[in-house]
Amino acid sequence: MSNEDFGGGQTRGGDVLVVTTNELPGFRVDAVMGEVFGLTVRARNAGAQLGAGLKSLVGGELRGLTKTLVQSRNEAMERLIEQARSRGANAVLAFRFDVTESAGVGTEVCAYGTAAVVSKV
């Protein structure tokens, strides 16, 4: 497994800048386009669940579940970026993730933030 299997985030050179801060040093907020979000729900893999159950007996990282969560977060973030782009935004401020169980059969990942148009000062 590569490092990309266990990490994520925005790739360089994207046309929509995503930051966790409320302000963006060196930029002016010209317009706020409103809240945007990206959502994905992933069903649990029976094999991964069995492996996770066995691994929990001896301890250690649940690598299969970690990889699935990274994929889910990246998918939710891409959907957030697409929604911001469709509103004419070039930035998302106050970006966050929310992860919850969904009806006991999967994991819901929501990426959300405030879409804005920013320009360099």
Which residue has better confidence, 88 or 68?
88
pLDDT category, 54, cuts 50, 70, 90?
low
Do 84 and 34 touch, CB atoms closer than 8 A? no
Contacts of 10 (CB under 8 A, 6+ apart): 17, 18, 77, 81
**Alpha-carbon distances, residue 33 vs 19, 23, 24, 77, 79 (angstroms):** 15, 15, 16, 17, 16
Total-model pTM: 0.78
The SS3 assignment for 115 reads strand
Contacts of 74 (CB under 8 A, 6+ apart): 8, 9
- In the predicted model, what is the mean pLDDT of residues 6-16? 68
Fold entry, domain 3-120: Translation Initiation Factor IF3 (3.30.110)
